Amino acid sequence: MLKERLAQLVSEACDGEITAAEALGATVPLSYLGVTSLAQMRLIDALEREYDVEIDLAEDVSFLDSVDGLAAWVSAAR
């Protein structure tokens, strides 16, 4: 369920340019699918609001490259 919700947030951050199914099934970094830096900022904002977490952009944010990475990060940050 967490991964599905995260994939939906990725899709919303990209204004639907990438579907939730595409994000969930991606075998390449999400940036290769077209997640732009603006979409990443929108995604970060959505993650911080929805999961009450804080993402430090000065840290390693490579977890933003995949739904699996996002799920692992959110689970650890809670």
Q: What is the pLDDT along the chain (78 residues), one digit of tens a residue?
A: 999 999 999 999 999 999 999 999 999 999 999 999 999 999 999 999 999 999 999 999 999 999 999 999 999 998
List the one residue out of 16, 48, 33 whose CA is nearest residue 67: 33
pLDDT of residue 78: 82
**Which domains are assigned to the chain?**
2-77 (1.10.1200.10)
pTM for this entry: 0.94
pLDDT of residue 23: 97
Alpha carbon distances (Å) from 18 to 32, 35, 78? 11, 8, 27
